[in-house]
Amino acid sequence: MSRGNITKWLYVGLHIKRWLALLAIAVAIMGIGFAYILREVYVSYTFPAWAFYITLQFIPRWLRGLLFISSALTLAIFSGWELNRSLAHALLPIGERQRDLVDLVYQNRTRDRGPRIVAIGGGTGLSNLLRGLKQYTSNLTAIVTVADDGGSSGRLRRDLHVIPPGDIRNCIAALADAEPLVTQLFQYRFDERAGEGIAGHSFGNLFITAMAEVTGNMEAAITETSRVLAVRGRILPSTLDDVRLAARFANGDVVHGESALPGSGIPPTEVWIEPRDSAAHPGAVRALLDADLIVIGPGSLYTSVLPNLLVPGIGKAIKESRAHKVFITNVATQLGETNGYDAAAHYAAVRRHMNDDALVDVVLANSNLPAEPLKPEWRSEPVLAPGDADYGSARLVLADIVDHERRYRHNGDSLASVVMRAYFERDLRVQAPAAYTAR
């Protein structure tokens, strides 16, 4: 703990000052008690001559008092410093031991009192957002789609009749406070060397599925897995029903299954879930109604974001919630889903499916566009955000939220920072123009 950080123990909200004050009062009372005893000894006992020098009686009493007080303060500061180092070494993970214990205490205290945020989406987009948001609040709820029918999740869904765990796994890994190695293990995917039965599966998917078998259901599995990995927040499926995604294209073709949708190479005109009347998860509905901030996206528009909103109870709860609502557009288009889409087209698809032009308060888009085209192997292009496009009643906010190394993904820390700024400045922007740039 640096000397400059000692005063942080006096920050508001740590719930520490009251105990420090009580400790100081206790020490003062003890000092008064010792003073009474020493005075009694002083008046009833004759000290040898050398005691005159040891007790500094050749110095004025007021100066002796200042010397004792300064010595006590020095010892208290030094002991507090060493106590902080000792506790940090004993209690914190190896990677955190260089941080100040007071910083961690303050961060945890403020996060517990942070706004209630519900994030809706899926894939790497949602996990990147959650990884950033958990630095600001512990009152996080992630609502994820269960329409995935491809890859490891799809195989487990077909073979064991469980809701697909893939997006749930990503959110657990993003919100976990466990050792980094544990999170890395949770995301590990077996390759072909593991054999036909297990190749392609991620360890986290198998872990969650096994936990569902042990606990009896997927809800309990998510709760117990979150507890084991010290997850900050909650992860909830949008529905516990066995749903499947369907899509219709401009030529009239209809496909069934999330994995079949991008195969056409063109965006659909409409998507829906089957059955259409699937019941929303009660916890997800309650979280939306109680939320201070609802964030929709990022994620694959038609296969990650909209399947959540199309669950009737989820869509209704979003509309009825009094929370501040933000829609985050993707930073790059996705082949077979959003070819040629700009930010307005992303939000227009949501408005069309939700039949609501005033669904959100803010549309957040990336302002940092690359000087050169994206790599051909990415098969995507940057999502533009024209300020004169139709965003319904929402305000367009532009900010640098892209990962500069992987420009098809968001930067989680930057994205969370802009989202929180938009939330805390929500009342200040009421009179703002239709589009502005976050700084």
pLDDT in tens, 377-403: 888 899 999 999 999 999 999 999 999
Helical residues (DSSP H) of 323-433, grouped into ranges: 343-354, 412-424
pTM: 0.77
pLDDT in tens, 99-117: 555 566 656 666 677 899 9
In sequence order, the β-bridge partners of residue 118 are 141, 294
At 429, list the tokens. 């922007």
Assess contact for 392 and 359: CB atoms under 8 A. yes
> Taking residues 220-241, what's their average pLDDT?
91
In sequence order, the β-bridge partners of residue 234 are 141
Neighbours of 386 (CB within 10 A): 13
413: left (phi over 0), alpha (psi -120 to 50) or beta: alpha
What is the rounded CA–CA span in Å between residue 74 and residue 76? 5
216 has pLDDT over 70? yes
Chain region(s) in the chain for CATH 3.40.50.10680: 114-145+238-437
Assess contact for 321 and 288: CB atoms under 8 A. yes
12: left (phi over 0), alpha (psi -120 to 50) or beta: beta
Whether residue 275 is preceded by a cis peptide bond, meaning omega within 30 degrees of 0, is yes
What is the rounded CA–CA span in Å between residue 31 and residue 149? 72
Whether residue 298 is preceded by a cis peptide bond, meaning omega within 30 degrees of 0, is yes
How does residue 119 score in pLDDT terms, banded at 50, 70 and 90? very high
CA angle in degrees (0–180, nearest 5) for 236-242-245: 95
Assess contact for 138 and 110: CB atoms under 8 A. no
Of the chain, the percentage scoring pLDDT greater than 70 comes to 87
Considering the segment(s) 114-145+238-437 as one domain, its CATH architecture is 3-Layer(aba) Sandwich (3.40)
Q: Which helix (H) or strand (E) holds 436?
A: strand 435-437
> Taking residues 6-20, what's their average pLDDT?
65
